[in-house]
Structure 1
């Protein structure tokens, strides 16, 4: 094995301190980088495995993801002759203790940012005697790495002078995780322009397309990926080698994993919460999109194969209720309650923007969806045939915005809340269940001000923030009334019995058996509820029809306006 460096670019300006786990980590600024061009390196800083040193034969990937996401590492030294050839590596570490600590901190940050619910997605750990595949880290000539895991052998990571900073470390470790450069994706010409006239001699390979070796990750083009080179990389004249389409977009940051980098690692290493126990097979649900707060809807109750699927304001229709059928492989099928047809990607199309429709039920993967928890409340739904997410087109929020399939991008347009339907399309209230009460007029949640827990703490409306002060445990009484208990304080929604006039305030109070804490739920148009206080016989009301955060909630004579109508939505399990 030999490495001969032909062109080295050092651009060093200022640095700043980045604090990780309570320790200072020196990180290069935007122009504090080291770019290595090596005639024996593939695409600038990737070392091909011996099986692929002939580039003409490099039409298949030699690297692979690491089994179970575990990456053993060891420290080594490398000694080469005066021409950078005939290199020999030994088990004596070449990085001092401070440099090792910096490298380990970068590893820890990668582990922490990709973890889900505190469970690691990838894990770097010291090599054990039993490990026959591992990464060897040494102070070599420049920054470069082998691509991915190799069976029964070592993967090399060179972090030479100018490379022991968070950005270069993370960049090279991305290669060891089996990621190529973002700016060399086969579709990159849609997003960036390479100014070949500015590229340094013998550096063209750093901008060549990964046409043969690229593996589709089903993620959007990521200008912010840590594997994306900046505008001046390998420039021979100080002019830009890369520009965006359209011009003016920022790109080429070299500090941290981007959000899409994190998503890509999670997808490649199959790191997602597979617990779908709170989705009941055979139950009927509304799928409420988080971005628009509208529900998955079959266009105008259409019962034909190919009927369009869209988002629409919740209207209680059966074309907005979906019966879930769990499959043995952890996927689900979603059946439209109105037609008995399945949610389907047209023809199993794998393109971004592929039509989502309803179709007669069949056993194809186009009708199988993998629910992946985003947090305790929301899911993304990945179609098995296309490996793409159920998506609201263009992040739209208007009624009749199309729903399609799109590369997983982690945005709210691809996040859905499962809300149980009753047979008539409304939520069935389960005694002891935890619910949000969303006001129809304002689309904001019933909220205890500032997470207060004292008797008399005020109740208001506020934007849904997932807080426990917006979740209410509903207990049914024998007289068909209910009591609402604030999940955060354990206290009840209460009206002062001495003041039952219009505008009387609501607040929380220690649980008791008075009528001031009893409410009679009455369905409105089989879609919403109004809540009538038993002591006053008046409705739970948003003062003055207000819609701003912090608007007071009181009681008022029934008037059947949206300010007195509430949608009950299940809170995520905590």
Structure 2
């Protein structure tokens, strides 16, 4: 990773607006907050605008969720906010001081505690950097920095807390999980904790152990600003069975159905990217230019293109890779919808669209062309990789990527979807002609 130039970064939707606008004396905060704080065993309970917020205390460490750590100062700010006599203006000022952004969008880091296992953390920072104004710089003597540490679990402080702040990693070889924790370190909370939680999902407490309830806190409008619509595909969204005590869903859509998220893949959703660019300004992320036609080449062999065999137009025709023949069945019109997802239609059959067969989500599901309906299986998240390549992820299965099975390069190899792997068989170059 280059460390002497600006690197561009991407993130999520329910954003902590984190400008530090007041200075509070710690003693005064503690004195104002002792009333109305209910402690249940090792849980502290607060009330924020009618929403119950639980914070777990364990050996002097405060957890807003299993993977979000609060400093003692941040915890005391929460206690101060819980004072029922406080004005709404003062409450908002305190909450806006809870989480601080990284100065000038520069994030210093140290990987020394990871030993030789640094590749995935570097890759995670690079992914974020390509889509935002954030610059990740290896620390020399800077005071404030992220210290990557191997641990028994994955967790992070929220925002820049000052000094060396540990980013604890059990899955230190999984870029998507590292991106998730880095988002927390940048000041981003979980998607299911948005202020509009109850308008978009049902939390099922009957399926959640008491000691895990704090993972489903709903924040208040005085402390957070949502970005965009609720994003089920977000890398910051818990999966439907997270922390289940009985195998039943802990989170569902309002109609009771479950959903797919991009976690733990390294696939930031369009709203993740837009959100981080709202939190850290100074860069306009455009992504792959839309309303353009491309030949889509595999990184395995740039002469092999996504191809509709025989220039067929029938629904259900499966898509292959094939040697470039300068023909419209290997050229694709690429457009983009309001949610930031792309439609890919072959030029020889413009009413058709690249589609995940049967809207399935399983590894190995093939790709086909089918009459365009706007289904999520016909929408793709296209995000930048290194050296001008892109990853293509279907919206209906956001943790999966378009994949050349077995890294084959033979003409006629059928494309499928597969869990994120980061190899060249999941990277594609979009070439104009």
Query: With structure 2 as the length reference, what TM-score do the two structures score?
Result: 0.47
Query: With structure 1 as the length reference, what TM-score do the two structures score?
Result: 0.36
Task: Identify the structure with the greater helix proportion.
Answer: 2
Q: Which has the higher contact order (CA 8 A, sep 6+)?
A: 2
